[in-house]
Amino acid sequence: MRKVLLAALFAFLVTACAENRNKQDGQAQNERNQLAKQQLQGIWVDENTELPMLKIAGDSIYLASQVNTPFRFSISGDTLIAHSSERVTYRITKLEPHVFQFYTSQGDLITLHKSDTDTIPFGYQTVIEPVQKEVIEKDSVFFYQGNRYRGYAYINPSSKKVYHPVVTEEGMIVDNVYFDNIIHICVFQGKQRLYAKDINKEMFENIIPADFLKMAILSDMSFMGVDSDGYHYQATVSMPDELSCYYVTILIDRQNNISFKLKE
């Protein structure tokens, strides 16, 4: 019985010591991470061009080539972690009070030295507003079986932000911010309104890949005509500042049921 108690006591002491050591190691690593963050505070200049590249203030990084908002970062060991719409890591190879060396997202080794002044004018946070503030109105007229139909599309800029990651001149990945649209469609026969509905890109989540839809905007809508099936529209869901897009055919049947299908 005594041997069992001694064995249990020994196991308890070993476990307690291991937990205490792990806790101490974690605290020591956290202190090193905080020290590294403190060393990074200030403006850093490219060693080759002598041009300012980035400014670090608190837990935010401002890039010289960007005029939009900064992105948040943290340090874990020899890794700088950027927290934006996507988590991006950069391996630090050297960090001293006046030298900062790391690999970009493209694998280039960048060497920076700290500026002697912190008054270099760049990296100011700006208020981002929708580029297109006015509602765009589109309409088309089609005849079917002797009746005249007019279909409207009102492209309304919304306050919903869409984040699209891009690689900057510095080789770092940041979010460009765009604003999505809500498009109101309606069909008239003479003065009689036959159908009306607000369309947003989330309605297409079952037919457009989620990764694309997340970073895309509902950019355009056109009335395509009337036939025995109903009223036809075509929506464009596009990647900002790129040519890639999906075309969605929209059908409103005679019972005013709406359906979506990717255009082949």
Length of the chain: 264
Give the Cβ contact number of residue 208 at 10 Å.
Answer: 19
- Sole residue written with tokens 């869409």: 162
Task: Write down the architecture of domain 2-114 according to CATH.
Answer: Beta Barrel (2.40)
Q: Is the pLDDT of residue 66 over 80?
A: no
pLDDT confidence of 119, banded at 50, 70, 90? low
pLDDT band at residue 223 under the 50/70/90 scheme: very high
Q: What is the identity of the amino acid at 241? A: D
Residue with tokens 């079952």: 206
Which range, of 42-46, 53-57, 76-80, 162-166, averages the lowest pLDDT?
Answer: 162-166
Mean pLDDT lowest for which of 5-19, 44-58, 95-109, 213-227?
5-19
Helices then strands (H, E): number in the chain? Answer: 2, 16
Q: What is the pLDDT of residue 167?
A: 80
User: Do 252 and 260 contact (CB within 8 A), yes or no?
Assistant: no
Q: For residues 63 and 19, what is the distance between their CA atoms, to the nearest angstrom?
A: 41
Give the tokens for residue 247: 């075309």
Instruction: Return the structure tokens found at 168.
Output: 């900057």
Place of tokens 């596009």: 238
Extract the tokens encoding 187.
């069909």
Q: For residue 115, which of 27, 188, 51, 36 has the smallest C-alpha distance?
A: 51
Residue 38 Rama label (left phi>0; alpha psi -120 to 50; beta): alpha
Confirm if 231 and 151 have CB atoms less than 8 A apart. yes
CB 166 within 8 A of CB 174: yes
Say whether domain 136-262 belongs to CATH 2.40.128.510.
yes
Question: What is the pLDDT at residue 127?
Answer: 45
Global model pTM greater than 0.75: no
Q: What is the CA radius of gyration of the chain?
A: 29
Identical fold, 2-114 and 136-262: yes
Q: DSSP assignment, residue 40?
A: H
C-alpha–C-alpha distance, residues 65 and 116, integer Å? 20
Contact in structure between 136 and 120 (CB atoms under 8 Å): no
What residue spans define the domains of the chain?
Answer: 2-114, 136-262
Q: Which residue matches tokens 């020591």? A: 28
